[in-house]
Structure 1
Amino acid sequence: ALYGARGANGVVVITTKKGANAALDNVKARTNLNETAFFYPNLKTDSKGNVIIEFTTPESLTEWKFMAIAYTPDLKTGYLEQNVRTQKDLMVVPNMPRFLREGDQISVSSKINNLSDKVLNGSAKLMLFDAFTNQPIDAQFKLINAVQDFSVAKGSSDQVTWTIDVPKNVQAVVYRVVASAGDFSDGEESALPILTNRMMVTETLPIYVKEGQKKSFQFENMMNNKLTSLDNFKLTFEMTTNPIWYAIFSLPYLREYPYECAEQVFSRLYGNMISEQVINSNPKIKAVFDDWNKNGELKSKLQLNQDLKNIILEETPWVKNAESEEEQMKQIAVLFELNQMQTEMKSAFQKLSDKQLSNGGFAWFDGGRPNEYITTHIVSGFGNMKKMDVNFKAFEIDVNPLIKKAIQFIDDENLKRFKEFKKDQKSFKDVTYSDGLHYLYARSFFLEDYPMSKELEEMKTAMLKNLNDTKLELSLQQKAMAAIVMNRFGMQSAAKIVVNSIKEKAVESDEMGMYWKENQPGWFWYQAPVETQSLLIEAFDEVTKDEKSVEEMKVWLLKNRQTNQWNSTKATTKAVYALMNFGKSWIDADKGITVKIGNQNFDLDKNSQAGSGYVKTSWNKEEIKPEMGKVEVAKTSPGVAWGAMYWQYFEDLDKIKSAETGIKFNKKLFVKSNSANGPILKEITTSTPIKVGDIVTVRLEISVDRNMQFVHIKDMRASGFEPVNVLSGYKWKGEFGYYESTRDAATNFFSDYMRKGTYVFEYDLKANNAGNFSNGITSLQNMYAPELSAQSEGIRVEIK
C-alpha cells in the first residue's frame, strides 16, 4: 500500500506504509508539510512497472513543483523533479484599467484562452453592476452588444472587446466577464472605482458671534449664481458653542493622512498621542464619545471595500464627507477608542523609528538626504507633547532613544555651521535666522534631559547675543520664536521687548480677533500663517501672560480653519497645540444662540450632538436653494460661538483654466519607439495618434520664479494609461532630488527644495485601453502652505 501527503507549498510525497514515518518526517522538516493534507492517491501501473499517480489539485491557476523519490530495501534511490501547471481548458483574462472616470468612452477587452485539445466555439458576456446595490447598470454605461461570439483554435487565444460610456453619479462598478463553450466555462468578477471628471470647489463662510450680537452672513455667488456649468454638490452648516471641538475634529485628519514622509508619520503619532491626552484629561469629552459609540461602530459600504476606498478617498476625498452625520460621529468616536489608539501609536512610532537614519536625522521621504528642518520639527513636536504632559510610557513606547539621536543630529549640524560662521563674524548673525533659531526653540524643551556640551554652550551664548542684537529685524514667526527662546534661556526682558513690539503692529477686529497683516504665506517654512499664529499665541502666553490677547489670537486661528482641518498636517499639529495648551478653557462655553438659514429657523438644541454642543447639518444638491446662502445668527448669553457654512460645487476638469502664480507648466505626451540608434520620441498629434500598446512618455516642464521648499507635484492621468514604473522611490538629477510616488490615478513628485529655474520630469505610461479620456490636470502645491499653488489646463487624450 502506498501513502501520500501534500505540503503547504504543493510538494507531494508518495511512499509505502513501511517507510512512511521516516520519509514523511524528513520531508515535513524541509517543506513545511501539512499533515492534514494526507491523501490516498489512485496508483496505476503499466506492464513496464511505471506508476501513474492521480490526485485532486487545489483550485489555483499556478505552477507546482512535483518531486518524487524511490528507493529499494538496499537503499538504491532514484529522484525525479518536474514542474506541473494547473489550468482550465477555457480561460477568460480581462484587461481592465485601474479606475474609470466620468464622461470617458473606453474599450475594455478580454482574452479568451483555449487550452483544450479541440476548437472551442462559444460566447463571452460582459455584465455591469452597481458596487453598492448590486443592481444591473448596463444601460447607464450604454453597453449594447454585451454578448460577443468567439471561435478559438486549440492552444490558441482570441479577444473580445466592448465599448462603454462611463456615466455620472456612479461611485463604483462591479464588472463580470463570463465565457462558455460547450461543457467549458470560466468567469472573472472585480470592482472598479469611478472618479469624477469634476473638480470640487469649496467656498467658506465663517460665522462668529459674541454675547449681545446679531449678525448676517451670505454667499454672494450662491445667491446670484448664473453659471450653467456649475453643479451644486453640498451645502454644510456647522456650529459649536465649544470651539475646542474644532481642534478635536482635526485630530483624525492627522491620523489618516495618506502619504508616508517622516513629518506626516510623526503627525500620525502626534495625533494619536494628543487624542489620548484629550480622553484622559477631559472626562466630559470622553462621555460624549462614549455616547456616540455606545451602539458600536458603523461602517459604510464604501469602507467595507478597502481597495475601492483607497482610490476613491485619495482622488475624491469629499466622498467620505457625504456620509450621514450620525455615521461620521460614530467613526470619530471609534478613532478615540483607546485600544485602537494604542495600536496606531505603536505602528506610527515604529515607522518613524525605521525612518531615522544612522546619524539621527530624518529625510523628508525615504531615500533622500537627512533634512535638518524636518528633524528639528520632529524634535520640537516631541517637546510640545512633553509640555502637554503626554504619557508615552502608558502605551509602552520609549521615545528617548529616538529623541536623543535626533538631538545629537541637530546639535552636530548647528555646531558645524557655527564653526564655519566663527571664521566670518559678519555673516554669523545668520545662525539666529530660520534653521538656527528653530534649533534653539526645539532644543529649549530638552535642556534638563540632554544638557548642552561646552562647545554647544559656547554656540548658544553667541547665538543668543546675536539674536538679541537682531531681534527686531526678524520676520513675524521668527520674532515669536525668538521671544520664546530668549524667555526660556533667561533673557526675559529682551523677550518682553520683542512681544511688545509685535503687539504694536497687531490688528484687532470683532470678527477676526487679533492678527497681523504681515502674516502672509510664503514658500518657506517660516512663512506659514497658521504656524506663525500658533507660535505667537505661545509667546504671548509664556512671555507676557497676556490672556486677553491670547483669546483674541485664538479667534483668528479658528477663523482660518478650513472645511475639516487646517491647511496642512504641520499647521494642524501647531494649531491643536496652541488651542489646547494656552489661554482659557473653552470646554464649558455657554449656549443661547438663534440661527436662521434662508427663510427657515434652525433649531440648534434639537440638532446638536449629545454633550458637545456641536451641530453639523448638510443639504444635498436637490435641497440647495439660492436663498439658503444667507445666514442670520444672534446670541444673548455670555461667551463666544463659532460656526461656518461651506458651499461645495463642481466644475469640469476639461474646463479648468491654468492658474499660475509665478509657475508655468508645459506638459507634452510623446510616443516612444525604438530605432537602431536608440529610443525615439515623437510628439503626439492628429497625424501620430496613440494606439493601444504604445509606450507614452510624459514630459512635464515646470518653470518657477522663486526658491521653494517642500513641493508636491501631482500629475493626473487618463484611465486608459497604465504606469510602467510602479515602484516609488527617490531619484536624483544632478543635485536636484525628488521622491516619485506612483498612485492608481496620478503620479506624485515630492521635492524638499526647488531653486528658481526650470525642471523636467519624465515618466512612461502604457496605452492599455482604447477610448476618449480626460487626462486631468497637473498641480503644484507647497505641502505646508497649500494656498500657494498652481495648476495646468485640463486636456483630453484619444487612444485608437
Structure 2
Amino acid sequence: TATLSIPDARRVEQSRMVVRLSPSLAAAMIDALPYLAEYPYGCTEQTLNRFLPSVITQRVLQRMNVDLAKLKEKRNNLNAQEVGDAAERRARWKRFDHSAVFDDELVAEMVTAGVTRLSDMQNGDGGWGWFSGTHEQSGAHTTATVVRGLLIAVQNDVPIVPDVLQRGIAWLEQHQMQELLKLQNADGKVQPYKEHPDNIDALVFHVLILAERHNPAMQQILFDQREHLSTYGKALLAWATHKLGNTEQTNMLRRNLEQFLVEDVENETAFLRGQASWWYWYGSEIEANAIYLKLLAAIDPQGQTAPRVVKYLLNNRKHATYWNSTRDTALVVEAFADYIAASGEMQRTMRAEVFLSGKRLGRIEFTPANLFEVDNTIEIHGSAVPSAEQQLEIRRTGEGNLYWNAYTTNFTLEEEIAPAGLEVKIERRYYHLQPSTKSLQLPGKQANVVDTQQAGFTRTPLEDLQAVPSGELVEVELLVESKNDYEYLLIEDPKAAGLETIETQSGYFSSSGRSIYRELRDRHVG
C-alpha cells in the first residue's frame, strides 16, 4: 500500500494517475541487445559481445516458450519504474533496426560470423590481443574475456572449434603458472617476483574455474591476500569459490564484499560501492555489480538484495537502454539472464489487482506467454482521480516478485505546492539580500591591529507570498538531493513574478569549485 496526496484545488480535467506493474525488471535486458548487435566497430571484445548476449537472451526466452516473432513487435514496458508513454519509448528503442534477436536464422548467422572472426583473430600463441593480427601481443585481460565468453557460448549450444578454445585455455593456464611463480618467489625476493596477487590473477582464476581447470595454490594465495583485490576482483573470486563448493571461503568473501553494500530502503536499490578508480577495468562499478549479481543469483536468488541490485543497474544505464560500453552492457545482460533463470521471475503466473481507497481500478494477469505483450498499465483521468489523501493498494495472487510504480499528474491551484520527489528532490529557498557592513580587525604591516569595514549582504529568508520592494536583491538557492551519481542534471527554475536576473549573459560560471553551465531565459533559468 501507499498513500497518494491529490490536491483539492486543481484543474480536475487535467489530472492523471498511472500505475505500471511488472513481474520482472530484469526482462528489460532485451532493450540493450540491438545496441550490441549494431555496434559499428570490431575489436576482439566487441566481436564477442555482438552475438553472445543475443544468444544468452534468446536461450532464456526459448526456455520460456516465448514467440520471438511476436517479441519483435514488443508493446509494453516491463521496467515498471519508468514513466512516460510506452509507445514513445518503444519508438526510441527501434532506432536500432537490427532484428536478429528475434530471428533464429539471423542469430545463427551472427554467431557463425562472430566465432569465425574470433578464430581468425587468435594469435599464434593461443591468446588474443585488442584487435589481434600481425605483430599483435596477447593480453591476459582480453584473452580471459574471450575464453570466458566462448565457454558461456558453449553452455548455450553455440558450436565452437574445440582447438580454438583449448588453445585459449592453455594460454591462460601458462599465464597463471607464471604469475604463481612470481608470487611464490616473493618471500625471498627472487626474480621474477611480485609481492601480492592482483585483479588480473582473480579474473584468470575465475575463467579457468569456469573451464574446470583448478589451481589450488593460486586459490589459496588469492583468498589469503584478498585485501589487495578490488570489489570487482573479490566478486570474481567469490563466484569461483562457490563454483568449487568452498562454502567457507565464499561466505567470507561475501561478508567482505557487503561491507561496501549501499542499500536504499526508500527506492529499494542496492549496490557495491567501488574501491578502485574508474579508469581501471577493475574499477568499473557497473561490471563489479553485474558479477556480484551473478554471485547472488548462484547463492541467494530469492533474497531481497538481488532484485535491488537489478533495479540499481537499470537505474544507472548511461544511454537509456544500455550502459557505458559493449563490455559492461554484455556483462549486465548475462547477469540478468542468470538472475531470471535462478529466481524464476519470468516463469510464474500471477494476478495483480489495483485498488484506490477500496475501489478497484483494474486487474492484470501475467503469464510467461503474455509477459511481453500484456498491457501492464492502469490509468485513470479527470474526475476519476479523487481529491485528498488516497490509499493505493495492490493485491497479488500467485507467486513471484511484483514490481510497481505509481505517479500522478495534476495542474494544482494551491497557493503553496507541497514538496514531493523520490530519485531527485529539490528544495528552493528565497532570501532578501540587504547591503550591510561588518567591522573587522586585521593585522597591519607593522604588526599592529587595523580596524576596517567589510561590505556584504544580510540574508533574510522570504516566506511564501511575502512581498519585496521593487529594486531589491533576491537570492535563489536550490538544494538538490540525489539518490544516484548522475553525470549531469538539467534543472529549470521558473522566475517568480517581477524577478529578473542580474546577469545578462548565459554561459559557464564557477560555484563551489565546480563549473556550471547556466542559461538565462525569459521565464526561467536553466
The answer to whether the aligner puts 1:636 opposite 2:398 as a matched pair is: no
Amino acid at match of 1:486: T
Check whether the contact 1:431–1:463 (CA below 8 A) recurs between aligned residues.
no
Residue 298 (structure 2) aligns with: 542
Residue 584 (structure 1) aligns with: 343
Amino acid at match of 1:289: L
Residue 474 (structure 1) aligned to one of 223, 229, 244 = 229
Residue 256 (structure 1) aligned to one of 15, 25, 38 = 38
1:215-274 Cα deviation digits (max 9, x unpaired): 89xxxxxxxxxxxxxxxxxxxx99855423311121222211111100000001213322
1:419–1:473 distance in 2 versus 1, CA, 3 Å: closer
Residue 27 (structure 2) aligned to one of 227, 238, 245 = 245
The answer to whether the aligner puts 1:513 opposite 2:269 as a matched pair is: yes
**Secondary structure, aligned partner of 1:425:** coil
Cα separation, 2, equivalents of 1:414 and 1:240:
45
Residue 481 (structure 2) aligns with: none
Cα separation, 2, equivalents of 1:262 and 1:615:
40
1:463-494 Cα deviation digits (max 9, x unpaired): 22222222345321111112222233453212
Residue 289 (structure 1) aligns with: 71
Runs of at least 5 residues in structure 2 that lack an aligned partner in the other structure = 6-18, 76-86, 355-360, 378-389, 408-526
1:322-355 Cα deviation digits (max 9, x unpaired): 9973993995655311111111111111111111
**Secondary structure, aligned partner of 1:514:** strand
Residue 162 (structure 2) aligns with: 400
Cα separation, 2, equivalents of 1:426 and 1:643:
61
Which structure has more RCO (C-alpha within 8 Å, separation ≥ 6)?
2
Cα separation, 2, equivalents of 1:604 and 1:326:
28
The range that moved more, 422-431 or 462-471, is 422-431
Within 5 Å, which residues of 2 pair with 1:433-444? 433-444=198-209
Note the C-alpha offset of 1:504. Answer: 4.1
Runs of at least 5 residues in structure 1 that lack an aligned partner in the other structure = 1-211, 217-236, 294-320, 453-459, 595-601, 618-631, 646-800
Which structure has the bigger radius of gyration?
Answer: 1
The answer to whether the aligner puts 1:361 opposite 2:121 as a matched pair is: no
Residue 444 (structure 2) aligns with: none
Check whether the contact 2:185–2:194 (CA below 8 A) recurs between aligned residues.
no
The answer to whether the aligner puts 1:566 opposite 2:332 as a matched pair is: no
1:213–1:613 distance in 2 versus 1, CA, 3 Å: farther
1:519–1:530 distance in 2 versus 1, CA, 3 Å: farther
1:144-179 Cα deviation digits (max 9, x unpaired): xxxxxxxxxxxxxxxxxxxxxxxxxxxxxxxxxxxx
Residue 147 (structure 2) aligns with: 379
Within 5 Å, which residues of 2 pair with 1:333-732? 335-367=101-133, 368-386=136-154, 389-392=155-158, 397-425=159-187, 432-447=197-212, 451=213, 460-510=215-265, 511-518=267-274, 522-543=278-299, 547-562=303-318, 563-582=320-339, 583-587=342-346, 588=348, 611-612=371-372, 636-638=394-396, 639-641=401-403
Within 5 Å, which residues of 2 pair with 1:192-341? 212-213=1-2, 242-284=24-66, 286=68, 288-289=70-71, 325=91, 328=94, 331=97, 335-341=101-107
The range that moved more, 399-408 or 505-514, is 505-514
1:327–1:503 distance in 2 versus 1, CA, 3 Å: closer
Check whether the contact 2:202–2:237 (CA below 8 A) recurs between aligned residues.
yes
Check whether the contact 2:186–2:194 (CA below 8 A) recurs between aligned residues.
no
1:261–1:505 distance in 2 versus 1, CA, 3 Å: closer
- With normalisation by structure 2, the TM-score equals 0.57
1:350–1:590 distance in 2 versus 1, CA, 3 Å: same
1:610–1:539 distance in 2 versus 1, CA, 3 Å: closer
Check whether the contact 1:593–1:636 (CA below 8 A) recurs between aligned residues.
yes
Check whether the contact 2:93–2:321 (CA below 8 A) recurs between aligned residues.
no
1:593–1:543 distance in 2 versus 1, CA, 3 Å: closer
Check whether the contact 1:275–1:336 (CA below 8 A) recurs between aligned residues.
no
Check whether the contact 2:127–2:168 (CA below 8 A) recurs between aligned residues.
yes
Cα separation, 1, equivalents of 2:276 and 2:21:
27
Check whether the contact 1:541–1:547 (CA below 8 A) recurs between aligned residues.
no
The range that moved more, 377-386 or 327-336, is 327-336
Residue 11 (structure 1) aligns with: none
**Secondary structure, aligned partner of 1:432:** coil
Check whether the contact 1:242–1:641 (CA below 8 A) recurs between aligned residues.
yes
Cα separation, 2, equivalents of 1:215 and 1:439:
51
Check whether the contact 1:241–1:613 (CA below 8 A) recurs between aligned residues.
no
**Secondary structure, aligned partner of 1:283:** coil
Cα separation, 2, equivalents of 1:429 and 1:589:
55
1:561–1:589 distance in 2 versus 1, CA, 3 Å: farther
Identity across aligned pairs (percent)?
A: 18
**Secondary structure, aligned partner of 2:343:** coil
Check whether the contact 2:186–2:195 (CA below 8 A) recurs between aligned residues.
no
Q: Which has the higher helix share?
A: 2
Amino acid at match of 1:260: G
Amino acid at match of 1:445: L
Q: Which has the higher strand share?
A: 1
Cα separation, 2, equivalents of 1:644 and 1:264:
38
1:87-136 Cα deviation digits (max 9, x unpaired): xxxxxxxxxxxxxxxxxxxxxxxxxxxxxxxxxxxxxxxxxxxxxxxxxx
Note the C-alpha offset of 1:383. Answer: 3.4
Amino acid at match of 1:612: F
**Secondary structure, aligned partner of 2:304:** helix
- With normalisation by structure 1, the TM-score equals 0.39
Cα separation, 2, equivalents of 1:474 and 1:414:
16
Check whether the contact 2:274–2:285 (CA below 8 A) recurs between aligned residues.
no
Cα RMSD of the aligned pairs, angstroms, is 4.2
Amino acid at match of 1:488: K
